[in-house]
Amino acid sequence: QVQLVESGGGLVQAGGSLRLSCVASGRTFSRDTMGWFRQAPGKEREFVAAVRWPGGSLYYADFVKGRFTISRDNAKNTVFLQMNSLKSEDTAVYYCAARRDFCSGSGCATVYEYAYWGQGTQVTVSS
């Protein structure tokens, strides 16, 4: 059974940092493109970052460039999202997702192309 489990969310003050983790199980995810998405109350789910397979290219939404960093540890079937300089507008439920088909550039940001999703972890940034 394929599972993605996020952790690391919480309450942080504006300007602070959090590191989200997503552990995948059920099979090896080293050949998947892994992504992070978020959804704020009343808003649609949106792309945050992705690390592509093959090649390891990194993609970021414009609103997190320079603040967030996505990385992966294939040996541990884990993907991370380091979030620095957090803002109140970053408040949302953050989801980890995986896809096996090839993507490139903005194609890796498409929500419905990801086949596997975690349950999400809440990030709340107080101003």
What pLDDT, on the 0 to 100 scale, is given for residue 64? 94
Quote the CA–CA distance of 51 and 54 in Å, as a whole number: 9
The model's confidence at residue 54, banded by pLDDT at 50, 70 and 90, is: confident
What pLDDT, on the 0 to 100 scale, is given for residue 55? 87
Question: What is the average pLDDT value for the chain, to the nearest integer?
Answer: 96
**Residue 6 in tokens:** 């996020």
For the segment 14-42, the average pLDDT, to the nearest whole number, is 96
